[in-house]
């Protein structure tokens, strides 16, 4: 069992338990984390699961594919250097830290 720390744009943090193999989005939805809408349920067609990964951890993740990269340009909050779609991030053995943007829609 690992954990994910979700911090909102105001700096409020919430730490939740995560199962390796699940996605960060699935973990957020299961725990009712505010700030993750996930309208499409993880089918990579909404960009409402946008998160900003802690820059110190960005290199620990598998690189994004072209489709995720393209979808991030349509996110409601402008993407940053370590933006990802949380439905495309698999939980591994490392405790992750992500920030949710001010808005997803």
Binding site for ligand FES (CB under 6 A): 25, 38-40, 42, 44-49, 71, 85, 87
Quick one: 27 or 48, whose CB is closer to ligand FES? 48
Q: How far is the CB of 92 from ligand FES (least distance, A)?
A: 18
Q: How far is the CB of 72 from ligand FES (least distance, A)?
A: 9
Q: How far is the CB of 82 from ligand FES (least distance, A)?
A: 16
Strands 13-18 and 83-85: unpaired
Helix, strand, or coil here: 91? coil
Q: What angle do CA 93, 95, 99 make, to 5 degrees?
A: 135
> Cβ–Cβ contacts within 10 Å for residue 59, how many?
9
Q: Which residue is nearest to ligand FES (CB)?
A: 87
């Amino acid at each position: 069992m690992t954990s994910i720390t979700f911090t909102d744009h105001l700096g409020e943090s919430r730490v939740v338990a995560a199962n390796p193999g699940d996605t960060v989005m699935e973990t957020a939805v299961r725990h009712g984390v505010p700030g993750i809408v996930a309208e499409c349920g993880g089918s990579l067609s909404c960009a409402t699961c946008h998160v900003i990964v802690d820059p110190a951890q960005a290199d620990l993740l598998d690189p994004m594919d072209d489709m995720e990269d393209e979808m991030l340009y349509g996110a409601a909050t402008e993407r940053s250097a370590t933006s990802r779609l949380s439905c495309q991030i698999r939980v591994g053995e490392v405790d992750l830290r992500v920030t949710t943007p001010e808005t997803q829609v």
